[in-house]
């Protein structure tokens, strides 16, 4: 018998033993609820799973018992699958949470009003045609270029699910070293991998930095949470950036992208420009109802470093809220991006170093662009 087979048998034995032990011991400490796989049973299972695991009832002032009373009476023993699905989706929409989904073989529910009721404030074609001239570097999930004639570095990251390479970040940041500053455009970034959030944010840190806090459910009650657990980001050991940074946001900046904003907003060289983000700060949990449909929900709340919840999104820095003007858009002008460019140019003028401070930097294993010991003093401007 080969090693693989032995390993599989060994793992199977461990899993079987643990499963048997769980079956024997678990009933002694907690009763397992069972539901029939009919509309009433599936509805009760769905409502109970949310009741015991969803984390924002109190923050959103939601009376979940009242929601149960309103929707349970509409459940009939004989219902078509799509009719039952739509009723459940309508109930889940009362949570006003883009992280809450019910998935069946024929449909997946999704709450869209967290972004659909707001201006889009982003036009990909506008950026690529009128600012990048369809000519830019692209690596993984990132496109970047020094904006022609503007002396500003531009980085567009469309999803934190997309790859973001360390070498690409080195090349990009060092390549922008003579510019007035960097724009990180995460408009329409719906989130993704939190590892990529830390990887990107670490390029702007001078020291180990408190990124925020996370709590976990400790019981079925709506307020049964652990003490907040602090998590930290370490500064990168590669090229880092301490010149001015503008993070460009819109309402569709969500989930992991929202978390990136929650960290970056406190860095001394950073301003958040654009529109209020969409939120989505709950870490998801997935379960299943008797008919086999899966349900995903926010289960672990994440806070910023000042213990503020960011579930409802993050506002731009003072004086930096701006929308995309449709009339200017028709003329090839992104008013949000223009605001960011002009702001960086002005900051550069206000913080211009003496001639004696200027000098060339060589490329090495580590290169800090800017001076972390004396970061630029960001001033909110409105124009």
149: left (phi over 0), alpha (psi -120 to 50) or beta: left
Residue-wise pLDDT for 42-65, tens only, equals: 999 999 999 999 999 999 999 999
Quote the CA–CA distance of 139 and 70 in Å, as a whole number.
50
Q: What is the mean pLDDT of the chain?
A: 87
* 222 pLDDT above the threshold of 80: yes
Answer yes or no: is pLDDT of 353 > 90. no
Position 363 scores a pLDDT of: 30
270-289 average pLDDT score: 96
118, two tokens: 């707001």
pLDDT of residue 379 exceeding 50, the answer is no
Does the pLDDT of residue 365 top 80, yes or no? no
Q: What is the pLDDT of residue 381?
A: 36
**What is the model's pLDDT at position 373?**
53
- What are the pLDDT digits (tens) for 326-338? 999 999 999 999 9
Up-side HSE of residue 59: CA atoms within 13 Å toward CB? 21
Distance CA 291, CA 117 (A): 33
Angle between helices 81-93 and 64-72 (to 10 degrees): 160
Confidence (pLDDT) at 34: 80
Contacts of 280 (CB under 8 A, 6+ apart): 97, 98, 99, 114, 191, 254, 255, 258, 298, 311
pLDDT for position 21: 35
Check residue 41 and give its pLDDT: 96
Average pLDDT of 239-249? 97
Dihedral pair phi/psi, residue 283, rounded to 5°: -75, 130
- In degrees, to the nearest 5, what angle opens at C-alpha 167 toward C-alphas 161 and 168? 60
pLDDT band at 35 (very low <50, low <70, confident <90, very high): confident
């Amino acid at each position: 018998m080969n090693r693989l087979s032995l390993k599989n048998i060994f793992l199977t034995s461990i899993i079987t033993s643990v499963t048997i032990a769980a079956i024997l011991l678990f009933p002694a400490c907690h009763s397992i609820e069972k539901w029939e796989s009919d509309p009433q049973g599936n509805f009760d299972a769905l409502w109970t799973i949310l009741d015991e695991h969803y984390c924002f009832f109190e923050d959103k002032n939601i009376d979940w018992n009242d929601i149960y009373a309103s929707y349970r009476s509409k459940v009939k023993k004989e219902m078509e699958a799509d009719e039952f699905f739509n009723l459940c989706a309508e109930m889940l929409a009362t949570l006003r949470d883009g992280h809450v989904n019910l998935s069946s073989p024929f449909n997946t529910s999704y709450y869209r009003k967290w972004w659909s009721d707001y201006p889009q404030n982003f036009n990909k074609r506008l950026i690529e045609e009128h600012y990048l001239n369809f000519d830019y570097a692209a690596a993984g999930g990132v496109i970047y270029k020094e904006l022609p004639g503007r002396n500003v570095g531009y980085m567009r990251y469309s999803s934190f699910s997309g790859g973001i390479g360390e070498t690409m970040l080195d090349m990009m940041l060092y390549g922008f070293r003579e510019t007035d500053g960097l724009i990180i455009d995460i408009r329409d970034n719906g989130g993704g991998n939190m590892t990529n959030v830390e990887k990107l944010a670490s390029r702007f840190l001078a020291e180990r930095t408190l990124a925020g806090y996370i709590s976990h459910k400790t019981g079925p009650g709506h307020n049964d949470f652990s003490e907040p657990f602090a998590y930290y980001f370490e500064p990168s050991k590669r090229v880092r950036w301490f010149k001015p940074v503008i993070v460009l946001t819109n309402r569709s900046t969500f989930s992991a992208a929202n978390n990136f904003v929650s960290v970056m907003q406190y860095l001394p060289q950073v301003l958040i420009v654009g529109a209020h983000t969409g939120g989505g700060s709950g870490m998801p949990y997935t379960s299943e109802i008797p008919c086999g449909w899966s349900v995903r929900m926010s289960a672990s709340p994440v806070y910023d470093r000042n213990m503020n919840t960011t579930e409802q999104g993050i506002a731009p820095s003072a004086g930096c809220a701006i929308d995309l003007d449709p009339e200017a858009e028709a003329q090839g002008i992104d008013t949000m991006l223009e605001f960011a460019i002009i702001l960086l140019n002005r900051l550069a003028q206000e913080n211009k170093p003496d001639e004696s401070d200027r000098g060339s930097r060589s490329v090495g294993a580590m290169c800090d662009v800017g001076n972390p010991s004396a970061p630029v003093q960001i001033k909110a401007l409105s124009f």
